[in-house]
């Protein structure tokens, strides 16, 4: 066999790159199936409190897992595991809620539609220092360790499809529940539930975010903080999480719509490997009960007792 010439090597490299480009183009323009849609729980109209769980989605179709560099595990690594398990008893008691089923890695209801980076779809670069610039925009482009999350670009058409199937229904459901609560109670109190990586020792295990006073009444937030202290749990306010797009878009204190983001430390309610609910789940539920009780106006307590 004759040795490969420089021309042969150049041609081989060119063909390899060309094949890679064609594969990337195919993946970016493939017609994705719709993502799983969120669930809207109407509740029994007895309380103005609405629960939001945008990062609890664990429904990962095979086609979606095949697009991720690390498969299903890589997509789940960006979720807020089992926050819906904390909230489950309160839905049984009649609270309204919206629960995501699509994983956050596929589409994040807590980001605005324009928070995209060019690794996801062609477009202008995001502002330096923004969530999208750091790879955690509307569709995260990076997973743990800042490693690339997707094998190829998602593409503009598929971004639009993901918005229609999972993002739009999530915010439409929240909007409908808020309007329902305003009509019934004259106000709405949105608790946007999340979880965070274990904090360093000595730091609070609960963080409340009200966009620095923009998304909720200060007295309401203070009542929640005091309620947590009363059950032995210190909490931080707006640091390191001040609230994302959900509380920013739906919170409107002038309309009597108050939105607070609540972050629970995962070590509080998961087992030591942080993969499944652990013995601390009961404690997390007691904390959420205190938060809901503090956020519920006296007249709603009266209605619930009737």
Confidence of residue 15 (pLDDT cuts 50, 70, 90): very low
Q: Is 129 a member of any domain?
A: no
pLDDT band, residue 202 (cuts 50/70/90): confident
d(CA 151, CA 202): 39
Distance CA 206, CA 286 (A): 13
| Confidence category of residue 146, pLDDT binned at 50, 70, 90 | confident
- Gap between the Cα atoms of 238 and 242, Å rounded: 4
Question: 279 and 233, same structural domain?
Answer: yes
Of residues 278, 292, 274, 102, the one with CA closest to residue 193? 292
Which CATH number covers residue 272?
Answer: 3.40.630.40
> Quick one: pLDDT at residue 298?
72
Average pLDDT across the chain, whole number: 90
Q: Considering the domain boundaries, does residue 228 fall inside one? A: yes
Which residue from 49, 146, 30, 39 is spatially nearest to 93, judged by alpha carbons?
Answer: 49
Same domain, 2 and 106: no
Residues 257 and 243 in one domain: yes
Same domain, 24 and 87: no
Whether 102 is in a domain gets the answer yes
DSSP-assigned letters across all residues of the chain: -PPPPHHHHHHHHHHHHHHHHHHHHHHHHS-PPPPPPPEEE---SS-SEEEEETT------HHHHTTBTTHHHHHHTTS-TTHHHHHHHHHHTT-EEEE--S-TTT--TTS-TT---TTTSSSPPPPTTSTTTTT-SSS-SB-GGG-B-BSS---HHHHHHHIIIIIHHHHHHHHHHHHHHHHHHS-EEEEEEEEEPPPPTTS-SEEEE-TTTTSS-HHHHHHHHHHHHHTT--EEESSS----HHHHHH-BGGGTEEEEEEEEEHHHHB-TTSSSB-TTHHHHHHHHHHHHHHHS-HHHHHHHH-
Residues 280, 255: one domain? yes
Please tell me whether residues 204 and 288 are part of one structural domain. Answer: yes
pTM strictly above 0.85: yes
Q: How many CB atoms lie within 10 A of CB 205?
A: 23
pLDDT digits (tens, 9 = 90+) for 234-250: 999 999 999 999 999 99
Q: Look at residue 237 and tell me if it is in a domain.
A: yes
236 forms beta bridges with 207
Q: Are residues 25 and 72 in the same domain?
A: no
Q: How many domains does the chain have?
A: 2
Is residue 17's pLDDT more than 90?
no
Whether 131 is covered by a domain: the verdict is: no
* Domain match, 236 and 297 both: yes
Residue 120 within a domain:
no
Instruction: Give the range of the structural domain holding residue 20, as residue numbers without chain letter.
Output: 1-30
Q: Do residues 101 and 3 both lie within one domain?
A: no
Q: Are residues 247 and 297 in the same domain?
A: yes
User: In terms of domains, do 193 and 273 share one?
Assistant: yes
Q: Is 136 inside a domain boundary?
A: no
Lowest mean pLDDT among 23-32, 84-93, 112-121, 145-154: 23-32
Q: pLDDT, tens digit, for every residue of 26-75?
A: 454 568 999 999 999 999 989 999 999 999 999 999 999 999 999 999 99
Is residue 26 located within the same domain as residue 36? no
Q: What is the pLDDT of residues 116-141, one digit of tens each?
A: 999 999 999 999 999 999 999 999 99
Q: Report how far residue 131's alpha carbon sits from residue 113's, in angstroms, rounded to the nearest whole number.
A: 12
pLDDT confidence of residue 201:
78
In a domain, 58, yes or no: yes
């Amino acid at each position: 066999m004759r040795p490969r010439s420089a021309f042969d090597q150049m041609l081989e490299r060119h063909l390899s790159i060309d094949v890679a480009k064609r594969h990337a183009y195919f993946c970016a323009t493939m017609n994705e199936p719709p993502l799983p849609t969120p669930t809207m729980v109407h509740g029994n109209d007895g309380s103005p409190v609405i629960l939001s769980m945008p990062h609890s989605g664990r429904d990962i179709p095979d086609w979606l897992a095949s697009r991720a560099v690390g498969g299903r595990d890589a997509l789940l690594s960006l979720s807020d595991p089992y926050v819906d398990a904390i909230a489950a008893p309160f839905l049984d008691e009649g609270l309204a809620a919206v629960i995501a089923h699509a994983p956050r890695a596929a589409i994040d209801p807590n980001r605005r539609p324009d928070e995209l980076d060019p690794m996801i779809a062609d477009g202008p670069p995001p502002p330096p220092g923004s969530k999208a610039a750091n790879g955690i925009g509307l569709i995260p482009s990076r997973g743990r360790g800042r490693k690339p999350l997707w094998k190829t670009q998602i593409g503009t058409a598929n971004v639009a499809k993901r918005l229609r199937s999972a993002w739009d229904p999530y915010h439409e459901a929240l909007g409908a529940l808020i309007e329902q609560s305003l009509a019934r109670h004259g106000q709405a109190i949105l608790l946007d539930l999340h979880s965070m990586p274990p904090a360093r020792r000595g730091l609070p295990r609960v963080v409340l975010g009200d966009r620095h006073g923009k998304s909720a009444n200060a007295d309401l937030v203070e009542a929640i903080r005091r309620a947590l202290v009363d059950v032995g749990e210190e909490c931080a306010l707006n640091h390191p999480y001040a609230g994302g797009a959900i509380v920013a878009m739906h919170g409107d204190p002038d309309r009597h719509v108050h939105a607070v983001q609540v972050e629970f430390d995962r070590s509080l309610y998961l087992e030591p490997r942080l993969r499944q609910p652990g013995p601390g789940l009961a404690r997390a539920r007691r904390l959420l009960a205190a938060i809901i009780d503090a956020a519920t106006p006296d007249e709603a307590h009266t209605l619930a007792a009737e």
